[in-house]
Amino acid sequence: MDKFENFTGIVCPLDRANVDTDAIIPKQFLKSIQRTGFGPNLFDEWRYLDQGEPGKDNRNRPRNPDFVLNDPRYRDARILLTRENFGCGSSREHAPWALADFGFRVLIAPSFAEIFYNNCFKNGILPIRLPPVEIGYLFSVADGPEALRIAVDLPRQILELSVGERLGFAVDPFRKHCLLEGLDDIGLTMEHIDEIRAYEDRRRTLGPWLFPGNGLEAA
């Protein structure tokens, strides 16, 4: 997982509450267990006017002109601003995979579904909870003639808005450490590789019959 360093991006204002994981990445695209390749079908049923299917060439599909990601101001957005309970529904990890593959590194909302919230950190996405009044302010400035840009300073936990404001945010210290160091569950495990190898060596000494190829297998 890439380290999360100071990050600046355009904000896409998705003014919807209770966005579930099937809206983020529809069920027909869940056949793959790879983490990549889902970005073109992010919010598929909202972005396009036809039915999306795996393997379909998205370049020639008719786009919904009323969906915010198809607005020229937000096509290069890397920060998603949305409403409460984002990521509700099923616990599929494909939802943060699709958001990350599209290019979103930061999500800002009043609240997130808990499993989705945890999955974001494990996939290099920073989900930020802000009070509703601050979310309302961000929507008011993000929907202007020029796209809002935000510089995200994770070490200092500060958002610097292109309109001149600063907002602070909270984040769990352990999750912050993992993002800054680029540690997912595998990375955290590999930090203890020496202890793991020492344990395996002890197991081979104390119970050699548990390991194939040592000539002690059961007949």
Residue given tokens 């579930």 in the structure block? 20
CATH topology of domain 7-209: Aconitase; domain 4 (3.20.19)
Strand pairing class (7-13; 166-168)? unpaired
DSSP string covering 93-117: THHHHHHHHHT--EEEES-B-HHHH
- For residues 96 and 87, give the distance between their C-alpha atoms in angstroms, rounded to a whole number: 9
Residue given tokens 């209770």 in the structure block? 18
Residue given tokens 């001149």 in the structure block? 164
Q: What is the pTM (predicted TM-score) of this model?
A: 0.86
Strand pairing class (149-153; 7-13)? antiparallel
Count CA atoms closer than 13 A to 184's CA, side-chain side: 9
- Each of the 219 residues of the chain gets a pLDDT tens digit; together they read 888 888 999 999 999 999 999 999 999 998 877 788 999 999 999 999 999 999 889 989 999 999 999 999 998 999 999 999 999 998 889 999 999 999 999 999 999 999 999 999 999 999 999 999 999 999 999 998 889 999 999 999 999 999 999 999 999 999 999 999 987 766 666 666 777 777 777 877 777 877 776 554 444
The model's pLDDT over 14-70, given as tens digits with 9 standing for 90+, comes to 999 999 999 999 999 988 777 889 999 999 999 999 999 998 899 899 999 999 999
Q: Give residue 66's pLDDT.
A: 96
Go through 4-18 and write b for each residue having 16 or more CB atoms within 10 A of its CB, e for each that does not: beeeebbbbbbeeee
The token duo for 53 is 């299917």
Q: Give residue 219's pLDDT.
A: 44
Distances (CA, A) of 137 to 13, 145, 167: 11, 16, 11
